Structure 1
Amino acid sequence: MRVAFWRGKGSAQRPLRLSLARLAGLAALAVLLGLVGCAAKVSPPPAPPPPPPPAELRDILTLPQDVAAYFDPASLDRPLLSSKEQRRFAARLRELHFAPWHRSAPAHARADALWGLAALKPGRHYGENLRPLEPTFRARMEALAQSEGYPNLMRPAIATANTSLRVLPTHRPGFLKPDKPGEGYPFDYWQNSALLAGTPLLATHMSADGAWVLVEGRVAAGWVPVRDIAFVDEAFMAQWEGLPLGAVIREGAPVSARFADEATPAPHLFTGRIGMLLPLLELGPGGVTLLAPAREATGQAVSLAVGLAADEARPLPLPLTPRAYSGLVAQLMGQPYGWGGFLENRDCSALLLDLYAPFGIFLPRNSRQQSRQGERIPLDGLSPEAKEALLLERGRPLLTLVHKPGHIMLYLGQRNGRAVILHDLWGLRTRSHKGEEGRFVVGRVAVTGLTPGAEIPDVVRSGLLLPSFDAYTQVVPEADTARK
């Protein structure tokens, strides 16, 4: 079959005859050319979105979370310090522990003790409903704090409960802008630190309503509810200071009064925490008898005998061996992060403070102070590779702290030629491929390498931990351990 077309106009018109097969070929060519022309005008398909971040850090999944795994089994019971050296450290800890009872004036000037009032700027802090604190909040805090009369008390006291040292006389939180990465829950800026039961205190200032008292302890100061402390007299202080100290080594051990009449129910006083120090009355084959404080209705303190098993409390100082240290860490591994002791959990510096106390070693409260407690090795000008090499060369497992601004870590040793650390880590900064800042939340005590999150692109974009390390600290100077 043929189809006739007329070609051109004018006198020379004549039909052009094409076969159907040829016509089909021309049509196909036209379609192809059309597609090519259109393709040149179409944008390429969008790149696929980046994969979601992993639910867990690779380091936590691949590195042993048992501190003992980083030591030769033959060295687990080998002391890292001599008994003489430990006694020297324990004597200093003991002196600082009871020091608040012997102050004739506050350790903090008024501006430092009541700094929270100056920090209260309009619209800066948010409450528990994540809305700005009401305008009347500052006026209420100023009225309660009655700062012009500071100090108005000056009485020795003792903590009778595990409680919080607050920046202001209130339980209400003070968050910064909640939708800003790294702010909001759990970063309550009115939470200064935790306070363990049995801690000697100097009560310096009472709130206007009598419900709160400003106290100074061994490592920190702040407001506590009056019901959580008791005032002590000369006889109480003489009894407590006249006895050796015992250290609680079981997290969560119930501390209950012991009465001669066994038929009398033993009342629960408080929960034992690693880092807690109490006077030692008696050491027996199955455990220890300690003194614990209780608050009478008059507000005065009374001492009660409490019994704890041998695996719950020991005389201070506990021999500093890898096995003993790892036994304490094992109880805290995975414990949720607690900014300033929030919800009775620990932050990075509180973790180390409490882990060292049973061995008689004093550490200050915050990470910056801890990095200056001992022989400090600055890392200025070193590359990340050089920083790790220096840690592997000079670091001493369980005795070397690793510091970056705002964070403190403990050197454990090495695994496959790479340094390994223990720390209580809230999160790692992230930056998305669009430049948005965020956090990869870890939120607990963990063992990692020096570059946790190196497998997560958003963490790498924002920056790994290792480049920001600024110092290593030998808790016990090398010259001291060389003499042991």
Structure 2
Amino acid sequence: MPVSTTALLPLLLIALLLGLAGCAAQAPPAPPVAPPPPPAELRDIQTLPQDVAAYFDALSLDRPLLSARAQADMAARLRELHFAPWHRAKPAHARADALWGLAGLAANRHYGENLRPLGPEFRVQMEALCQAESYPNLMRPAIATANTSLRVLPTQRPGFLKPDKPGEGYPFDYWQNSALLAGTPVLATQLSADGAWVLVEGRVAAGWVSVRDIAFVDEAFMAQWESLPLAAITREGAPVLASFADEAFPAAHLFAGRIGTLLPLLDTGVWGSGGDASGAGGPTLLAPAREASGRALSLAVRLNPDEAAPVPLPLTPRTYARLANQLMGQPYGWGGYLENRDCSALLLDLYAPFGIFLPRNSRQQSRQGEWTSFAELAAPAKEALLLERGQPLLTLVYKPGHIMLYLGRKDGRAVILHDVWGLRTKSEAGKEGRYVVGRVAITTVTPGAEVPEVVRSGLLLPTFDGMTNVGAPPVAAPALAR
């Protein structure tokens, strides 16, 4: 017997409701709420004054941190080391150390700018250019005529390790050894096979530079430069210009002066207190230039009153802050990559105007004074010892691979100035990463304490090895970074 449509309606409605209930039960669960992203800026950088002078009271801002005698002795040592490359009878490095980059190529572990392996053909090319069997084939005194890079190999091409690994890849170009500031005396020890690159040794480091960025000096040039007192550039980026009696082209840009640049001083101009020049007359310095023949020229250059000062500047918190604050926030640059500074280059350049020599790398710097070990101390005890014995602006804090400057205390915490790439992170799943800071900053000794991924990986303070007072005599002769 056929069933009427009217009779089927209740059954159809029940089936429809049961079907909808079944669909709802089978729907995928709502995705879990994603954890909040890490803060765009470290809390320390947001809350701490990014001004060195803010950590000193008004009465201490102009108080010298070292005696005039101590600074004079340190400045004499810096001067001797600065010009030392011109007087070496042989290279500071044996062949294997001077050309150590060739050994690093054997493993074929490096990647180029396209993040592809460099390959064996790159190694063959570098070996041919270095012509190691002829080392040293040059041995001529020279001078840097531009701000340039000291390269591990005679190439501008980068050498990255494992680009997808945290702490490797950009900006860690392992063919970048250091930076070379214009006006730095060097010893040229090796010419590349194509004549485009020269291996040089400077005050603190060695490496390959483009032949266009150096000029060869003679006895008269060296005698003139060594007979004059030194001046330090005190304004980052100050243009160093050569003047010409030509209305159409009155001046030529030689290079940008950088904090850390040292040049001979011809005339001081009119100087005020605290290392500041006042009045209309600025200082006149000597600057190097390169002739087409490769010979060095010595040119008199006039700077503005606030752009240079005689070495050593008085080491007071105010003067140090005036230099350091110009570099605050500057990008991090491994080995001087892209003309930026890394942690040790920051301190090397900041101390030079005060006549204080520092070697190139962080471990060497940590031994250039009176060393205090943090071995066997727990993290809170390390900070307590730093607060007790640390001398603001004279104490360097060291951990393997990183160097920092102690500024003093803020709200009971130790505060440091450093140039840092990033802080190690670890996800809940255990994956390693980096919280990138990437610049010069003032922080506590536990930056990132508010970031769970940083805390999970481990804060900075527990890794501190010790501290050194650079105002004390060094315990050993400085080593030249290869």
Match of 1:153 in 2: 138
1:466 to 450, 461, 464: 461
Distance (Å, rounded) in 1 between the aligned partners of 2:362 and 2:52? 21
- Alignment pair present for 1:387 and 2:371: no
1:68-467 equivalence runs, <5 A: 68-259=53-244, 265-285=250-270, 286-467=281-462
Change (3 A) 1:47 1:292: same
* 1:58-80 C-alpha deviation (Å, 9 max, x unpaired): 00000000010000012111111
Change (3 A) 1:478 1:111: closer
Tell whether the 8 Å contact from 2:369 to 2:473 is kept in structure 1 after alignment. Answer: no
Distance (Å, rounded) in 1 between the aligned partners of 2:136 and 2:393? 41
Tell whether the 8 Å contact from 1:122 to 1:135 is kept in structure 2 after alignment. Answer: no
Change (3 A) 1:374 1:330: same
Give the C-alpha shift of residue 134 in structure 1: 3.1
Aligned partner letter, 2:136: P
Give the C-alpha shift of residue 46 in structure 1: 7.3
Distance (Å, rounded) in 2 between the aligned partners of 1:44 and 1:209? 66
* 1:4-58 C-alpha deviation (Å, 9 max, x unpaired): xxxxxxxxxxxxxxxxxxxxxxxxxxx9xxx9xxx9xx99987533221111100
Give the C-alpha shift of residue 139 in structure 1: 0.1
Tell whether the 8 Å contact from 1:373 to 1:473 is kept in structure 2 after alignment. Answer: yes
- Greater shift, 191-200 or 129-138, is seen at 129-138
Distance (Å, rounded) in 1 between the aligned partners of 2:443 and 2:136? 45
Distance (Å, rounded) in 1 between the aligned partners of 2:401 and 2:144? 28
Tell whether the 8 Å contact from 1:340 to 1:347 is kept in structure 2 after alignment. Answer: yes
Distance (Å, rounded) in 2 between the aligned partners of 1:269 and 1:202? 21
Give the C-alpha shift of residue 223 in structure 1: 0.2
Give the C-alpha shift of residue 82 in structure 1: 1.4
Give the C-alpha shift of residue 397 in structure 1: 0.4
Distance (Å, rounded) in 2 between the aligned partners of 1:62 and 1:347? 24
Tell whether the 8 Å contact from 2:151 to 2:178 is kept in structure 1 after alignment. Answer: yes
TM-score (norm 2): 0.89
Give the C-alpha shift of residue 407 in structure 1: 0.2
Tell whether the 8 Å contact from 1:399 to 1:410 is kept in structure 2 after alignment. Answer: yes
Distance (Å, rounded) in 2 between the aligned partners of 1:397 and 1:308? 31
Aligned partner letter, 1:216: E
Tell whether the 8 Å contact from 1:198 to 1:277 is kept in structure 2 after alignment. Answer: yes
1:56-71 equivalence runs, <5 A: 56-71=41-56
Aligned partner letter, 1:195: L
Aligned partner letter, 1:168: L
* 1:261-283 C-alpha deviation (Å, 9 max, x unpaired): 78861111100000000000011
- Alignment pair present for 1:54 and 2:27: no
Aligned partner letter, 1:158: I
Give the C-alpha shift of residue 123 in structure 1: 3.6
Aligned partner letter, 1:296: E
Distance (Å, rounded) in 2 between the aligned partners of 1:258 and 1:394? 50
Give the C-alpha shift of residue 391 in structure 1: 0.4
SS in 2 for 1:73: coil
Give the C-alpha shift of residue 259 in structure 1: 4.5
Distance (Å, rounded) in 2 between the aligned partners of 1:263 and 1:463? 61
Distance (Å, rounded) in 1 between the aligned partners of 2:366 and 2:192? 34
SS in 2 for 1:164: strand
SS in 1 for 2:396: strand
Tell whether the 8 Å contact from 1:294 to 1:304 is kept in structure 2 after alignment. Answer: yes
Kindly report the root-mean-square deviation, in angstroms, between the aligned alpha carbons of the 2 structures.
2.3
Unmatched 5+ residue regions in structure 1?
1-30, 480-484
Give the C-alpha shift of residue 287 in structure 1: 1.5
TM-score (norm 1): 0.89
Distance (Å, rounded) in 2 between the aligned partners of 1:85 and 1:476? 8
Tell whether the 8 Å contact from 2:101 to 2:152 is kept in structure 1 after alignment. Answer: yes
Give the C-alpha shift of residue 210 in structure 1: 0.4
Give the C-alpha shift of residue 85 in structure 1: 1.1
Distance (Å, rounded) in 2 between the aligned partners of 1:338 and 1:293? 26
Give the C-alpha shift of residue 478 in structure 1: 9.2
Distance (Å, rounded) in 2 between the aligned partners of 1:279 and 1:469? 39
Q: How many percent of aligned residue pairs carry the same amino acid?
A: 78
Distance (Å, rounded) in 2 between the aligned partners of 1:443 and 1:305? 37
Give the C-alpha shift of residue 258 in structure 1: 3.2
Tell whether the 8 Å contact from 2:115 to 2:163 is kept in structure 1 after alignment. Answer: yes
Distance (Å, rounded) in 2 between the aligned partners of 1:343 and 1:43? 50
* 1:213-248 C-alpha deviation (Å, 9 max, x unpaired): 000000000000001000000000000000000100
* 1:421-457 C-alpha deviation (Å, 9 max, x unpaired): 0000000000001111100000000000000000001
Distance (Å, rounded) in 1 between the aligned partners of 2:140 and 2:108? 36
Name which one, 1 or 2, has greater alpha-carbon Rg: 1
Tell whether the 8 Å contact from 1:213 to 1:225 is kept in structure 2 after alignment. Answer: yes
- Greater shift, 256-265 or 164-173, is seen at 256-265
Distance (Å, rounded) in 2 between the aligned partners of 1:421 and 1:407? 12
